[in-house]
Amino acid sequence: AQTVTQSQPEMSVQEAETVTLSCTYDTSESDYYLFWYKQPPSRQMILVIRQEAYKQQNATENRFSVNFQKAAKSFSLKISDSQLGDAAMYFCAYRSYQGGSEKLVFGKGTKLTVNP
C-alpha cells in the first residue's frame, strides 16, 4: 500500500529565509501525482503546488518550489523568502489511478512556524 511520510512534525524559519519541508512516499506505481496542501490557522485546505510523476521538471509556483526525486521517492517543498502568512500546517499527498483503482494518501503534516 502506498504510504506518505512527513518526517518533520514541526519546523521553524525566520522571516525572509528559506525552508524545506520533507516528504517521502512508497509506491510501486510509475504514474502518479503529488501535491502539497497548506492549512493555515483558519483551517482551510489550500492547494500549494502539484507535480506529475512523468514530468522531470520540478514544479514552481512563485515562492514555492518542489524538489522531486522520483528514484528516491522524495518530494520536498521549498519555501523561499518566507512570510508570516506562510505559517501553517503543510500536508503532502499522493494520488494515482490505475486499473480502476484510485489511491489517495495524505501525510500527517508538518507544522511550520515563521518567526519575525
Partner 1 sequence: DSGVTQTPKHLITATGQRVTLRCSPRSGDLSVYWYQQSLDQGLQFLIHYYNGEERAKGNILERFSAQQFPDLHSELNLSSLELGDSALYFCASSVGPNSPLHFGNGTRLTVT
Taking the complex as a whole, how short is the minimal distance between the CB of residue 16 and partner 1, in angstroms? 28
Nearer to partner 1, 19 or 53 (CB): 53
Q: Interface with partner 1 by CB under 8 A: which residues?
A: 33, 35, 37, 43-47, 50, 91, 93, 95-97, 102, 104, 106-109
Taking the complex as a whole, how short is the minimal distance between the CB of residue 12 and partner 1, in angstroms? 17
Number of neighbours of residue 104 by Cβ within 10 angstroms: 13
As a whole number of angstroms, the distance between CA 71 and CA 73 comes to 5
As a whole number of angstroms, the distance between CA 81 and CA 104 comes to 31
| Spatial CB neighbours of 102, under 8 Å, sequence gap ≥ 6 | 95, 96
As a whole number of angstroms, the distance between CA 97 and CA 45 comes to 22
Nearer to partner 1, 16 or 45 (CB): 45
3: left (phi > 0), else alpha (psi -120 to 50), else beta?
beta
Nearer to partner 1, 17 or 31 (CB): 31
Taking the complex as a whole, how short is the minimal distance between the CB of residue 94 and partner 1, in angstroms? 12
Nearer to partner 1, 28 or 116 (CB): 28
Taking the complex as a whole, how short is the minimal distance between the CB of residue 107 and partner 1, in angstroms? 7
